[in-house]
Amino acid sequence: MKKVAIQGISGSYHEVAARSYFKDEKIEIIDCNNFKEVFACMHKDPSVIGVVAIENTIAGSLLPNYELLRESHLAVVGEYKLRISHSLAALKGTKKSDIIEIGSHPIALMQCTDYLNQNFAHTKVIEKNDTASSAREIAEKQLVGHAAVCGAEAAKIYGLEVLDSGIETNKRNSTRFLVIADRWNSEKLVNKEKVNKASIVFAVPHSSGSLCKVLSTLWFYNINMNKIQSLPIIGREWEYLFYVDVTFNNYIEYTQALDAIRPLTKECQILGEYEEGQHSA
Calpha distance 187→77 (Å, rounded)? 8
Average pLDDT over residues 131-150: 97
The confidence score (pLDDT) of residue 281 equals 62
In tens, the pLDDT along 26-49 reads 999 999 999 999 999 999 999 999
Q: How many domains does the chain have?
A: 3
- The domain boundary residue, chosen from 133, 156, 183: 183
190 in any annotated domain: no
Are 72 and 178 in the same domain? yes
Are 93 and 69 in the same domain? no
Count the Cβ atoms, other than its own, within 10 Å of residue 76.
Answer: 24
Q: Which domain holds residue 9?
A: 2-83+173-183
Are 40 and 91 in the same domain? no
- The domain boundary residue, chosen from 122, 151, 183: 183
CATH number for the domain spanning 264: value is 3.30.70.260
Count the Cβ atoms, other than its own, within 10 Å of residue 234.
Answer: 9
Rounded to 10 deg, the angle between the 251-261 and 210-220 helix axes is: 160
**Angle at Cα 243 formed by Cα 178 and Cα 185, nearest 5°?**
40
Are 8 and 76 in the same domain? yes
Q: Taking Cα atoms as reference points, which of 152, 10, 2, 18 lies closest to residue 80?
A: 18
CATH number for the domain spanning 105: value is 3.40.190.10
Are 179 and 70 in the same domain? yes
Are 111 and 62 in the same domain? no
189 in any annotated domain: no
Q: How does DSSP classify residue 172?
A: S
Q: Taking Cα atoms as reference points, which of 280, 72, 275 lies closest to residue 176?
A: 280
Calpha distance 123→184 (Å, rounded)? 51
Q: Taking Cα atoms as reference points, which of 201, 199, 197, 200 lies closest to residue 274?
A: 197
15 in any annotated domain: yes
279 in any annotated domain: no
188 in any annotated domain: no
In tens, the pLDDT along 98-137 reads 999 999 999 899 999 999 999 999 999 999 989 999 999 9
Check residues 238 and 21 and name the one with the higher pLDDT.
21
Are 33 and 106 in the same domain? no
